[in-house]
Structure 1
Amino acid sequence: MSHITLDPGDLFAVPASSPRDMRGPRVGPQPSLWDKLLRRPAPAPSASPWGTITEAHEIAPGVMWFRANARSGYRLSPRRQKALPRSMRTVDGWYEDTTEWAAVAVVFANIFDEMPAGGEASGRSLYELGKETLKHWRPEAFEGWFETSLDMDEIWSLPVMRFHRLHADRWMALGSFHASYGYVIEAGGPRPHVRAKRGGDPPYGAVTGLPRAEIRRFAVEVGELHQGRGKPFLIDPDRHAEIAIEEDAVLA
Structure 2
Amino acid sequence: MTGGSLSKDLSTPDGSAVEFGRSADGMPLARVGDLVFAMVSARDGQHFLASAWRVSRPLEHLNRDDFYSHHGSVEDEAAFRVRMIEQAEHCRELHALARQTAGVSCSTPWGPSQGATIYVDGIVSHTTASHGGFELSAARNAAAHPLLRIDDGFYEEDAAWAIVALTFPQLFTRYERKIADRTVRDSWPEAWEAIHDRRLAPGASHEKDGREFQRQHAEDWIVIAALRSDHHAGMTEVIATIGGARDARAEERRFLVRSDDYMAGRFGFVIDETKHAAYNGPSSFATWRGRAG
User: What TM-score, normalized to structure 2?
Assistant: 0.41
| Greater C-alpha radius of gyration | 2
Identify, as 1 or 2, the structure richer in strand.
2
Q: Where is the helix percentage greater, Structure 1 or Structure 2? A: 1
Provide TM-score, normalisation by structure 1.
0.47
